[in-house]
Amino acid sequence: MGNSLNAWSDALAGFQPAGLPLGLLIIAAIPLVFIALYALTYGVYGERKISAFMQDRLGPMEVGKWGILQTLADILKLLQKEDIVPTSADKFLFVIGPGVLFVGSFLAFAVLPFSPAFIGANLNVGLFFAIGIVALEVVGILAAGWGSNNKWSLYGAVRSVAQIVSYEIPAAIALLCGAMMAGTLDMQQINILQSGTYGFAHFFLFQSPIAWLPFLIYFIASLAEVNRAPFDIPEAESELVAGYFTEYSGMKFAVIFLAEYGSMFMVSAIISIVFLGGWNSPLPNIGPIALNDMTTGPVWGAFWIISKGFFFIFVQMWLRWTLPRLRVDQLMYVCWKVLTPFAFVSFVLTAIWEIYVP
Amino acid sequence: MDQTLSEFGNVFVFFLLGVVFVAGGYLTARMLRPSRPNPVKTSTYECGEEAVGSAWVKFNIRFYVVALIFIIFDVEVVFLFPWATVFRQLGSFALVEALVFAGILILGLVYAWVKGDLDWVRPTPSVPKMPEMPASKSTSQRD
């Protein structure tokens, strides 16, 4: 930890706005463009289409062929919408709330390794940073909910914060198991440790019989952390209108939306990095047919991690139309009395396995 | 002069870009959108009714208990992460130490569990008793 603090103070001391390299800005811009494009295409259009097909509907069909331009029309509409700030709201909190949410979600993308050749900031505490920075969203949600001075918003915000904060415990302990298997918190290093010619057999999920437990715990907890069904009581539209963003309209609403889809990809990417090899190809070399070597490389890496992330987002959308919403007391029960004890069990078992079973 | 940023400097560039993106989005929307507020439009939404009082009220104490339990466990996890990177070199002794450390906190979880702090307010359906109406009186009033 001392190292990272030193690095941080060095960064502040050596920082000069005039000497800011253009290349770095471009590196930071790539994830931003990625979030925007993915949220527009897969996030909004894809979710609406997938939801529709699961319910035997057609979904958006009017704008463009198969409704493909629907999201573009939505964005144009949101840009032109009047931005309403309630008279009784706390203006400052109301305005910065969506910003804090988005910046918190976007900062986590800084440490995601998109390919062997591309990572925004190769921190030696990358995994830890990702867990920590997501907690910044709690501040944004609370600012938005409290600043709105609306009962629905406040209830939604407080529920959401209690839920995110509670599920962070099993999620963090599950990722701790992954960190114990890797022996490092460096995101690129975690990926490199899972590469090999046998493809998926090198992934941490298949490296020990215990890894399934933290994998499942983290997946369930990550659903709650991004407020997805079945843990979507903060936005339960049948009881809370829209939760903490009830009063938002126009561009502020769009920013909240972008932040939510950003976090969805973020947790999906983390689960694929820690347990499913990140940018490593799952295909093994079979005798003379070197499938693994053929599908390894900077571009293939980006393809694999994005498809793994999209797969988990698909599962999140799928669960939304499969499971009913949990009640508040059931939510707390699942977190504190089921997931947390099991997370500790997996922590102890992983420690014993890693030390005594090589 | 060293012109390269450290890795945390890169994170700072991400932070700046995020802020610029949000501010730019707000600014673009401000130039495009109409702004015609009126008192009804900017009133607080409460399902079409006039808002009763303010939303800034005292809140259920349960949420604070959850926050307290969270802080304890989060601090524990913070301490375990550095240990996780080196525990294979440290061997059995460090493992026992970490288990004792985790065990003490699990005892805390058990305590909160037994005290009932982990139970949310459970709905206890209690049907309010109707006050018994003297039948003779009501009939006499009707007359």
**B100 interface with A at CB cutoff 8 Å:** no
**A74 interface with B at CB cutoff 8 Å:** no
The ipTM value here is 0.76
Domain ranges of chain B: 59-120
**B116 interface with A at CB cutoff 8 Å:** no
pLDDT for the residue numbered A17? 45
Q: Is the pLDDT of residue B33 over 60?
A: yes
CA distances from A289 to A110, A202, A279, A280 (A): 36, 18, 20, 17
CA B122 to chain centroid, in Å, comes to 19
Q: Is the pLDDT of residue A150 over 80?
A: yes
**Cα–Cα dist A232/A102, whole Å:** 19
For domain B59-120, the CATH class is mainly alpha
Whether A82 sits inside 8 A of B36 (CB atoms) is yes
User: Which region among A119-128, A259-268, B42-51 has the lowest average model confidence (pLDDT)?
Assistant: B42-51
Spell out the residues 6+ positions from residue B66 whose beta carbon is closer than 8 angstroms to its own.
A162, A165, A166, A332
Distance from the B62 Cα atom to the nearest Cα atom in chain A, whole angstroms: 9
Q: Is the pLDDT of residue A9 over 60?
A: no
Q: What is the pLDDT of residues A65-86, one digit of tens each?
A: 888 888 888 888 888 888 888 8
**Cα–Cα dist A119/A114, whole Å:** 6
Q: Is the pLDDT of residue B141 over 70?
A: no
**A174 interface with B at CB cutoff 8 Å:** no
**A238 interface with B at CB cutoff 8 Å:** no
Q: Is the pLDDT of residue B138 over 60?
A: no
A250-254, A336-340, A352-356, B111-115: which has the highest mean pLDDT?
Answer: A336-340
Q: Choose between B143 and B96: higher pLDDT.
A: B96
Cis peptide upstream of residue A31 (ω within 30 degrees of 0): no
CA B71 to chain centroid, in Å, comes to 12
Among A residues 193-222, those touching chain B with beta carbons less than 8 Å apart:
none
Q: Is the pLDDT of residue A151 over 70?
A: yes
Distance from the B126 Cα atom to the nearest Cα atom in chain A, whole angstroms: 18
Average pLDDT over residues A231-251: 78
**B92 interface with A at CB cutoff 8 Å:** yes
pTM attached to this predicted model: 0.83
Chain A residues close to B58, C-beta within 8 Å: none
Whether A146 sits inside 8 A of B69 (CB atoms) is no
pLDDT for the residue numbered A22? 64
Q: What is the pLDDT of residues A314-323, one digit of tens each?
A: 998 898 888 8
Chain A residues close to B73, C-beta within 8 Å: 169, 340
**Cα–Cα dist A296/A303, whole Å:** 10
Chain A residues close to B23, C-beta within 8 Å: 99
Average pLDDT over residues B24-46: 82
Amino acid at A353: W
**Cα–Cα dist A319/A230, whole Å:** 7
Spell out the residues 6+ positions from residue B129 whose beta carbon is closer than 8 angstroms to its own.
none
A139-143, A247-251, A296-300, B127-131: which has the highest mean pLDDT?
Answer: A139-143
Domain ranges of chain A: 2-356
* Residue (of A136, A195, A196, A178) closest to A161 by Cα position: A136
**% of chain A with per-residue pLDDT over 90:** 7
Mapping DSSP to helix (H, G, I), strand (E, B) and coil, where does residue A122 land? coil
